[in-house]
A and B are shown apart, each in its own frame.
Chain A
Amino acid sequence: EVLLVESGGGLVQPGRSLRLSCTTSAFSFGDYPLSWFRQAPGQGLQWVGLIRNKDYGAITQYAASVKGRFIISRDDSKSVAYLQMNSLKTEDTAVYYCSRAGQQFPPFWYFDMWGRGTLVTVSS
């Protein structure tokens, strides 16, 4: 069974940093693009960013709201993806989900496997 498990969430003060991990199993991690999404309490889904697989240069793309503050990376040897969140704002408070793209090659703009999410609360 394909699994994605997010970890690293918690309470953090505005302006500080936090790193989330997405640990995966049961699929060829290095072959797939991965994305991070978030959902603020009681709100809808929002795309955060994506990292392509190495065959496509492991290029990253980000939503405008997090570009320059968040960094997505991957360690294919460990089957883990990361979301480094810097200069956090109260509006970054949300459940953060990692997700696997539905196919290995472009266009891969749909996501068929999701983790259960981890809550990040930004508050003083």
Chain B
Amino acid sequence: QSALTQPASVSGSPGQSITISCTGTTNDVGAYNYVSWYQQHPGKAPRLLIYDVTIRPSGVSPRFSGSKSGNTASLTISGLQPEDEGDYYCCSYTTSSTLVFGGGTELTVL
């Protein structure tokens, strides 16, 4: 199972919005609405931001939102804040009953 495709890096200024894409295939992202997004700061455990494509767990800022079109899922962060800097990973359930991650996107807040 190949990894999902994410941009290696994105950047934005405080207050701006950015979108991170996550491209898979009809065997993963396109097959189910079981896409999740995780944030990870250096040396820390991942933190769940979005699950089932669009659902935000309690405690996660409404500045984070998810969507999907075909084989591509997206995470949008609005009103960028310095603490949003870190690595972001998408994850999808697959038709092989496994989970596959994207390679990760490093977000820099300028």
Q: Does chain B have a CB within 8 A of A32?
A: no
Complex CA gap A37/B52 in Å reads 19
Known A-B contacts A112-B48, A114-B46; A45 and B57 likewise in contact (beta carbons under 8 Å)? no
Is the beta-carbon distance between B34 and A117 smaller than 8 angstroms?
no
C-beta contact mask, B33-63 vs A, less than 8 Å → 1, else 0? 0101010100011111001100001000000
Q: Across the two chains, which residue of chain B brings its CB closest to A63?
A: B98
Is the beta-carbon distance between A44 and B89 smaller than 8 angstroms?
yes
| Least distance between A37 CB and chain B CB atoms (Å) | 8
Q: Does chain A have a CB within 8 A of B10?
A: no
Which residues from chain A contact B64 at a C-beta distance below 8 Å? Answer: none
**Interface size grouping (class) on chain B:** 20 to 34
Is the beta-carbon distance between B57 and A107 smaller than 8 angstroms?
no
Known A-B contacts A64-B98, A109-B99; A45 and B48 likewise in contact (beta carbons under 8 Å)? no
Partner of B48, one of A61, A62, A111: A111
Is the beta-carbon distance between A102 and B93 smaller than 8 angstroms?
no
| Least distance between A23 CB and chain B CB atoms (Å) | 15
Known A-B contacts A109-B99, A110-B52; A45 and B45 likewise in contact (beta carbons under 8 Å)? no
Complex CA gap A62/B3 in Å reads 16
The contact sample of 20 A-B pairs, CB cut-off 8 A, is A35-B99, A44-B89, A44-B103, A44-B104, A45-B40, A45-B89, A47-B99, A50-B99, A63-B98, A64-B1, A97-B45, A99-B46, A109-B34, A110-B36, A110-B52, A111-B46, A114-B45, A114-B47, A116-B44, A116-B45
Taking Cβ atoms with an 8 Å cutoff, the residues of A that contact B are: 35, 37, 44-47, 50, 61-64, 97, 99, 102, 107, 109-112, 114-117
